[in-house]
Structure 1
Amino acid sequence: MSEQETIVWHQHTVTKASRAALKQQKPAVLWFTGLSGAGKSTIAGALEGKLAELGYHTYLLDGDNVRHGLCRDLGFSQQDRRENIRRIGELAALMVDAGLIVLTAFISPHRSERDLVRHMLPEGEFIEVFVNTDLAVCEARDPKGLYQRARRGEITQFTGIDSVYEAPLNPDIDLPAGEETLDQLVQRCLEALHQRGIVATS
């Protein structure tokens, strides 16, 4: 028998359902995906602020922040990027088990990676949010100067320049982030969450 075969999931007395009931909410993961500079962190942060105002228990996982701790040992190779998303998915699934509404902001350029996380969660608990911003808009914003560096060849395998971004084919929420205001985008998210029974008001 391998060591892996000796590992058994321990079922605790306090369940996911009871934790969610205590918080009076339906847990879920809102997975914000889009190009660098699309507005993922900005929209996710504004939405989390609104959810907090409404009394919901949330946590926001941001791409740069997890690289400081949980994924600090990973680089930016294809293999490391996939492992980065896998770890975040596992963490988000644990947070959902704790009864939280989890918001994540990651480029996560490949559909297979996003599907990997979707399959970690029960049906309906993974909500793919496509921050649908044109490359030209993202490059014009370039808040960290990364596009300029990529164009100069200082950064390679940069998503949208010399590395592919696979846009969601059928996202749960499609945000036209280059066309609407932040308040309008947050309202779109709230309405979608209301329709799914995750929040009581839109």
Structure 2
Amino acid sequence: MNKHLAISSLLTLFLVNHASAVEVPEAAQSCVVCHGAQGQGTSQGPKLAGLTSLYMNAQIEHFISGERKNVVMTLMAESLVDLNVRQQALAYYAEQGTAPELQKRGDTLVQSGAEKLYYQGDPHRSLPACYSCHGPSAVGGGPFPRLAGQQSSYLKDQLVAWQKKQRSGDPDNTMGHIASKLKDSEIQALADYLSAIQ
């Protein structure tokens, strides 16, 4: 009896995994291990669901050129030099995920320090409001990435990388200038705030 149950469980697991693999286009299947079948992110890689194709394509180019450094992602990016294959993978992940409830700037009651930085910035430190690029609901658009729902640890790591000049590739090093003015506590607060937006 236990033998049949074990075989049945293995068959069920295989069919579930096979069904998931079939839904993911072949061009995107190499991304699944780190970014998840629906781009939900894992402990190995950030959330891709809902990022724009334009933004993801720019990041692939940054990994290929060496502007962004990550051994695994550089290898993965180099495997996507065929632009037709790359566009299929990018289109798939861009279509995943749901948008958070749209917030309008005037409707937002700013309560925390992170919200204040996101919606108002800090003019005394020449810090622009994050929403001016990433949008009122942090969903980004065009060359600006979605931040809403991204893993807190990933957001924090990226802000620290901008701060330490370990990441580059945006026009005029805008994110480097912004991150350099943030305190460690503000980086953590922003990362936690943005990751909680669903």
Same fold per superposition (TM over 0.5): no
- More strand per residue: 1 or 2? 1
TM-score by length of 2: 0.25
Q: Greater RCO between the two (CA within 8 Å, min separation 6)?
A: 1
- More helix per residue: 1 or 2? 2
